[in-house]
Amino acid sequence: MSYALITGASKGIGKAIAETLAAQKINLLLVARSEELLEQLADNLGRQHQVKTAWLATDLGDSGATSAIMNWIRENGYEVNILVNNAGYGLSGRFDAYSAEAHAEMMRVNMTVPVMLCREMLPLLQQHSQAYILNIVSSAAYQAVPGLSVYAASKAFMLRFTRGLRYELRKTNISVTAVSPGSTDTGFAHRAQVGEKALKTAEKVNMTPEAVAKQAVAAMFAGKTELITGFINKAGAFFAWLLPKKLVEKASAGIYDLD
Ligand X SMILES: NC(=O)c1ccc[n+]([C@@H]2O[C@H](COP(=O)([O-])OP(=O)(O)OC[C@H]3O[C@@H](n4cnc5c(N)ncnc54)[C@H](OP(=O)(O)O)[C@@H]3O)[C@@H](O)[C@H]2O)c1
Cα–Cα distances (Å) from 101 to 53, 104, 140, in that order, read 34, 5, 22
CB of 162 to ligand X, least distance (A): 12
Contacts of 69 (CB under 8 A, 6+ apart): 5, 31, 56, 58, 117, 120
CA distance 49 to 57: 22
- Beta carbons of 109 and 33 less than 8 angstroms apart: no
| Interacting residues with ligand X between 115 and 144 (CB under 6 A) | 136, 138
* Pick 81 or 114: Cβ nearer ligand X: 114
Residue 65: which of 10, 1, 120 has the closest Cα? 120
Which of 5, 12, 116, 157 touches ligand X by CB under 6 A? 12
Which of 11, 42, 111, 228 touches ligand X by CB under 6 A? 11
CA distance 16 to 208: 9
| Interacting residues with ligand X between 15 and 54 (CB under 6 A) | 32-34, 37
CB of 151 to ligand X, least distance (A): 7
If residue 3 lies in a helix (H) or strand (E), which one and from where to where? strand 2-7
* Pick 122 or 237: Cβ nearer ligand X: 237
If residue 153 lies in a helix (H) or strand (E), which one and from where to where? helix 149-168
Amino acid making up residue 1: M
The yes or no reply on residue 201 touching ligand X (CB under 6 A) is no
The yes or no reply on residue 166 touching ligand X (CB under 6 A) is no
CB of 9 to ligand X, least distance (A): 6
Residues carrying an active site annotation? 151
The yes or no reply on residue 109 touching ligand X (CB under 6 A) is yes
Residues in contact with ligand X by CB under 6 A are: 8-14, 32-34, 37, 59-61, 86-89, 109, 136, 138, 181, 183-184, 186-188, 191, 209
